[in-house]
């Protein structure tokens, strides 16, 4: 009996050590009052994204839930309005697997919202499921879609600077190896899915790194954030039904709740003084060093150019337009320190998308274009 009790005590002690050192997430601090500021969170109808949106709404931000399913997105927006007491939580349709949907979302957003202060790329997939596409679906949803969305929304982010872009990455990037000759080839079988997922997470880290380089001096900063091991839909979505009853108790014991997984993305979005660390990778609310493949500037730039091609950004989009699509109400102030809480009504229509600037071109013209844009923020 004594040996049994001793063994149980050792197991409990080991679990406590693991929980407080690896599982439990540090709480997010940062800016407490976000009233008058606007945030977009992709994949915010459940899991980490929903908890991220909830915290932003509690702090007073206007939060746009960018989700694929209208039914689940509207339900999540209703839940968050009820729980946060903030009525400025809305749903807008976005399917990152469809470049046309990404462009439609950007056009609708730019036409209806005068501000964009925080863009959080949370949506992602870990498996193709039963879907079979003629392209790499994991790379499309986890990287190419967010790349294009950032590109299209960048004028508004610059106009509202200081602003931030957060890319939810993963420790799986350490297993990634980008093969630029096979970057967009279809993924077949679970082994290829595991590799493609790791590759897409490496792409997230390299994207944040190159985006920081492209946007230096614009007031827009970006960060890659690892949420940690999280018990979310992404973990269980493709687990066979017979295996779930066995995994659920284990997941509850050793994985973070979605609220815990949201802490590092929130830290990157809200913590003051992170600007000098733009482009870096964060885990547990701290900067973490990445392997050589994830800090290869040449590979990051090569991925940038390949992503422009895969996102369908043509030469006509290299030139910066004279002005951005104007929202219905552009009476917001020009700085984050004195935001205007009045917000426009979201457009229900999705007009054809307009041409958008190339990020590398825009950084050379930021000074020349800043005056007309600051009218929006």
Is the pLDDT at 52 greater than 80? The verdict is yes
Query: How do the domains of the chain map onto residue ranges?
Result: 15-310
Residues 70, 74: Cα–Cα separation, whole Å: 6
Residues 170, 188: Cα–Cα separation, whole Å: 22
Q: Across the strands, what pairs with 286? A: 283
Residue carrying the six token digits 């949201």: 262
Percent of the chain predicted with pLDDT > 70: 69
CA-wise closest residue to 266 among 279, 285, 288: 285
* CA 112 to chain centroid: 21
List, in order, residues 6 or more apart from 268 with CB less than 8 Å away. 164, 166, 223, 225, 274, 282
C-beta neighbour count of 54 within 10 angstroms: 23
The model's pLDDT over 187-227, given as tens digits with 9 standing for 90+, comes to 888 888 889 999 999 999 999 999 999 999 999 999 999 99
296 neighbors 206 (Cβ within 8 angstroms) = yes
List, in order, residues 6 or more apart from 272 with CB less than 8 Å away. 30, 31
Q: What share of the chain is helix, strand, coil (3-state, %, to 5)?
A: 50, 10, 40
Residues 224, 282: Cα–Cα separation, whole Å: 6
The model's pLDDT over 280-300, given as tens digits with 9 standing for 90+, comes to 999 999 999 999 999 999 999
CATH number for the region 15-310 comes to 3.40.50.720
Mean pLDDT rounded to a whole number for the chain = 81
156 neighbors 324 (Cβ within 8 angstroms) = yes
268 neighbors 120 (Cβ within 8 angstroms) = no
Residues 286, 270: Cα–Cα separation, whole Å: 13
Residues 343, 162: Cα–Cα separation, whole Å: 19
Residues 291, 116: Cα–Cα separation, whole Å: 32
CA-wise closest residue to 139 among 189, 178, 92: 178
Mean pLDDT across the stretch 249-262? 75
Is the pLDDT at 317 greater than 70? The verdict is no
- Is residue 197 among the annotated active site residues? yes
Tokens encoding 200 = 């897409």
Residues 339, 333: Cα–Cα separation, whole Å: 6
Residue carrying the six token digits 């991925």: 303
Q: In this predicted structure, what is the pLDDT of residue 251?
A: 60
Q: Name which residue leads in pLDDT, 127 or 247.
A: 127
pLDDT band at residue 320 using 50, 70 and 90 as cut-offs: very low
Q: Given 197, 223, 267, 281, which residue is catalytic?
A: 197
Query: What's this model's pTM, rounded to 2 decimal places?
Result: 0.78
232 neighbors 261 (Cβ within 8 angstroms) = yes
């Amino acid at each position: 009996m004594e040996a049994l009790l001793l063994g149980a005590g050792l197991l409990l002690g080991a679990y406590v050590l693991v929980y407080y050192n690896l599982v439990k997430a540090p709480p997010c601090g940062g800016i407490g009052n976000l009233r008058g500021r606007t945030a977009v969170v992709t994949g915010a109808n459940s899991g980490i994204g929903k908890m991220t949106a909830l915290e932003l709404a509690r702090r007073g931000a206007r939060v746009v839930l960018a989700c694929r399913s209208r039914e689940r997105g509207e339900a999540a927006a209703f839940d968050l309005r009820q729980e946060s007491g903030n009525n400025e939580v809305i749903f807008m349709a976005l399917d990152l697997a469809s470049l046309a949907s990404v462009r439609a979302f950007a056009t609708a957003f730019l036409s209806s919202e005068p501000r964009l202060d925080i863009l959080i790329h949370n949506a992602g997939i870990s498996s193709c499921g039963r879907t079979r596409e003629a392209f790499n679906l994991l790379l499309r949803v986890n990287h190419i879609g967010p790349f294009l969305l950032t590109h299209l929304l960048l004028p508004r982010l610059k106009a509202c600077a200081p602003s931030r872009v957060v890319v939810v990455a993963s420790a799986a990037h350490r297993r990634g190896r980008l093969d630029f000759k096979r970057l967009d080839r279809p993924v077949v079988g679970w082994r290829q899915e595991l590799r493609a997922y790791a590759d897409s997470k490496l792409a997230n880290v390299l994207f944040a790194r190159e985006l920081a380089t492209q946007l230096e001096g614009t007031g827009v900063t970006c960060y890659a954030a690892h949420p940690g091991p999280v018990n979310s839909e992404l973990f269980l979505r493709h687990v066979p039904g017979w295996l779930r009853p066995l995994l659920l108790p284990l997941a509850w014991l050793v994985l973070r709740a979605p609220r815990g997984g949201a802490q590092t993305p929130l830290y990157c979005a809200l913590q003051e003084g992170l600007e000098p660390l733009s482009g870096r990778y964060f885990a547990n609310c701290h900067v973490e060093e990445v392997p050589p493949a994830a800090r290869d500037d040449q590979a990051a730039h090569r991925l940038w150019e390949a992503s422009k091609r895969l996102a369908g950004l043509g030469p006509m989009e290299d030139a910066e337009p004279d002005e951005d699509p104007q929202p219905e109400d552009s009476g917001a102030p020009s700085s984050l320190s004195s935001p205007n809480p009045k917000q426009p009504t979201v457009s229900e229509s999705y007009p054809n998308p307009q041409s958008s600037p190339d990020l590398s071109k825009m950084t050379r013209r930021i000074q020349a274009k800043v005056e007309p844009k600051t009218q929006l923020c």
